[in-house]
Structure 1
Amino acid sequence: MRLHQTLGATAGALLLALAVPTSAHAATGDFLYKTSTGQEAGVADAESGVCINLPGTTTQEPGHSPQNFTTSTATVFPEPDCEGDAYVVMKPGTKLGETTKLSSVVFS
């Protein structure tokens, strides 16, 4: 009988743990870039796993010179909505030059 009760309590605790929502992870810090007109811009403390279309950029006129000062890996895309086969993965602390074009970013 005790084994049956122990298994029931363990199963209940596991279900409760799975039902409690977890907090969203964030890319703590700043992600900086230059817009298509050369102005400095950035994103601060972005949510991980969410594609961000970067203001001041388009497919025809992407931004450039990304700098990842966040605690997360940033994947930058030259197209909006994190689409396309071309992308660059930036580890925390990475700075890239004008040849790296971007219109969107997602953090992991």
Structure 2
Amino acid sequence: MTTTIKPLVICLCGSTRFMTEMAEANLELTAAGHIVLAPGCNLKQPHPLWDTEDKLAALKARLDALHLAKIDLADEVVVVTDHTGYVGTSTQGEIAYAEQLGKPVRWWSR
């Protein structure tokens, strides 16, 4: 009988201004055999789901909670940024949350 090794579950964190970089990190990590959890909505891009301030505020709160749940599920957190190393307030909070849980945090940038 062969033993199946569970793939590492990685949660990507970072500003949605780096969605291109997140897509590249997701591709590389997935190709390396990992399960990747990532932001699914880019609120910086127009969309009918968040086309009013009320809808945007409600969705942002749900997405923030959902992302923390992704961190809960992850074995590791990868913070994605660009060459500037920018990390916003939300991402700083996600890093602190992951560290509180004892999750390894590492960085990915281009």
Shorter-chain TM-score tier: under 0.3
- Give the structure with the higher percent strand: 1
Which one has a bigger Cα radius of gyration?
A: 1
TM-score by length of 1: 0.25
The structure with the greater share of residues assigned to helix is: 2
